[in-house]
Amino acid sequence: MEISTIKTQAFSDQRPGTSGLRKKVTIFQAPHYLENFVQSIFDTRTDLKGGTLVLGGDGRHYNRQAIQTIIRMAAANGVARVIVGQGGLLSTPAASCIIRKYRTNGGIILSASHNPGGPDGDFGIKFNTPNGGPAPEGVTEAIYARTREIGEYRTLTSGAIDLDTIGMLSLGNTRVEIIDPVADYAALMEALFDFGRIRQLFDAGLFRMRFDAMHAITGPYAKHILEEMLGAEPGTVINGIPREDFGGGHPDPNLVHAHEVVALTSGRKAVDFAAASDGDGDRNMILGRDFFVTPSDSLAVIAANAHHIKGYAGGISGVARSMPTSQAVDRVAEMLGIDCYETPTGWKFFGNLLDANRITLCGEESFGTGSNHVREKDGLWAVLFWLNLLAVRKQSVKEIVQEHWRRFGRNFYTRYDYEGIDTEAANGLITRLQERLADLPGSSLDSYTVDYADSFAYTDPVDGSVSENQGIRIGFTDGSRIVYRLSGTGTEGATLRVYLEAYEPDREKQGRKTAEVMKPLVGIATGLAEIESRTGRREPTVIT
């Protein structure tokens, strides 16, 4: 085997977003495109030379080929040890778990998360640092800067290695370990949750659940933990075999794309509990019988009930939420007397807070919840937390959430997504809103009075780094909010997200329909931003 140095030319479009570099599969398949980005990681993360790298992905189209390419490049760049999930598979939270457990120098995760897969779908790559979390902006900007000037990359001339057999092999001077992708993660979950108590739920035969893996990475994890370790009936995990195109579906665990499992929570034979996860296993949707738990409420309920769970019985140090996430968890933190942090969107912003032990739990409205057990959001962890809570409290999902509302008040919440809109039009919309912010405080919009209006900026309390222009916030005197933000997770055009929140402390009014409560705010939000005239969209692509 020989090390080859390949001449290349830089690409101008390799700046990572909030979750790494995401593009169409066909772009990554272009000559040198993947290699340039990977070499830029090795060039800037010099501790990988002689160190250990974790490698895996969500199994989408091009995953296996990319794994082979990265292993050869790792060997050529002097990485001493590469830990690879069997078949090239690792869920994102499992990768974080392995990085932390074996104290490696970081990991490369191949995923476009909840984006569609297949030959015409999306692909993604990101680097996770030794703490197990997504690379912070300083690291991603260094990688991006290198991609702009790169002129060559190094690789090893060799054939494909066997990714499907667990064991150890050598590639040049590099040791490649193919590991069970599930075992370490399952052991961590068993340490956090009372598996014996959860097993009792299923042993009684009176509790039924379904977990929709959406033909994505979480299938093998859920089947092993739920059906084999916890004794849930065979068939509890549906769509459990990972496929390169996610079975033709869109692996986003929301009410629209996970409609199959949503339907199982209604009707005469409805299950008691249901959940779904996404492409790489870091997101979750929680459902009870005829009841949907918003991700914002899920985070708040988890924080309020952490003392019931083995791994958190000693108390939690603090909580954090992304700025667009509802303020429901803020009210829990206030009652518990702990700190609550509001961060920009992107899990990497929670990393410093977790490492400094300022927080134990964190979450985002985009179906992401997690804790200090790893440095990524974790879909199956959230499902197991809810199962443990149901086993302890012996109430239904609906009863637990409604009791939470009576105690803390209800934060009605919804999100409007306008996907694939013209980028120039989207930027113009945001610019115009920013120009109007100074005049909004104190003004009346229909029956609402504006309390504050700003472009959200965040100063990290641990390292002092500043992140500006993270979304537009318009808050009203009654606790309602409208938030506008351009998402960085798409691969075509722009995605405008509009977040709407209304607080209701009156128990008699907490049972109203969300759409009814939000109707006035929807009118204000769409009119203020001139969404139809600027984007041509009369309706959002998705409402959650």
Q: Alpha helices of 437-513 — where are they, by DSSP H?
A: none
Q: Buried b / exposed e across 304-322, counting CB within 10 Å, b at 16+?
A: bbbebbebbeeebbbbbbb
> From CA 469, how far away is CA 360, in angstroms rounded?
27
Residue 544 and residue 523: Cα distance in Å, rounded? 17
Token reading at 46? 């010099």
491 close to 122: Cβ distance less than 8 angstroms:
yes
User: What 3-state DSSP class applies to 310?
Assistant: helix
113 tagged catalytic? yes
Q: Which of 217, 320, 212, 209 is nearest to 265 (CA)?
A: 209
- Can you say whether residue 214 is alpha, beta or left, with left for phi > 0 and alpha for psi between -120 and 50 degrees? left
β-partners of residue 85 are 179
* Residue among 96, 111, 113, 298 flagged as catalytic: 113
- Rounded to the nearest 10°, the torsion over CA 376, 379, 384, 385 is 60
Sheet holding 339-343, edge to edge: 339-343, 318-322, 361-364, 368-371
- CA-CA distances (angstroms) from residue 235 to 198, 219, 250, 277, 483? 18, 11, 21, 16, 40
Quick check: 469 and 455 in contact, CB under 8 A? yes
Query: Strands of 481-487's sheet, edge to edge?
Result: 444-445, 448-455, 472-476, 481-487, 494-504, 410-421, 542-543
Structural tokens at position 159: 């054939």
By C-alpha distance, which of 446, 433, 420 is closest to 535?
Answer: 420
- The SS3 assignment for 138 reads helix
CA distance 501 to 505: 13
| DSSP states of 117-147 | -STTSEEEEEEE-TTSSBPPHHHHHHHHHHH
> Which among 308, 354, 347, 306 has a CA at the least distance from the CA of 325?
347
Instruction: Specify the DSSP class assigned to residue 224.
Output: I
Distance CA 70, CA 60 (A): 16
Query: Any idea which residues carry the catalytic annotation?
Result: 113
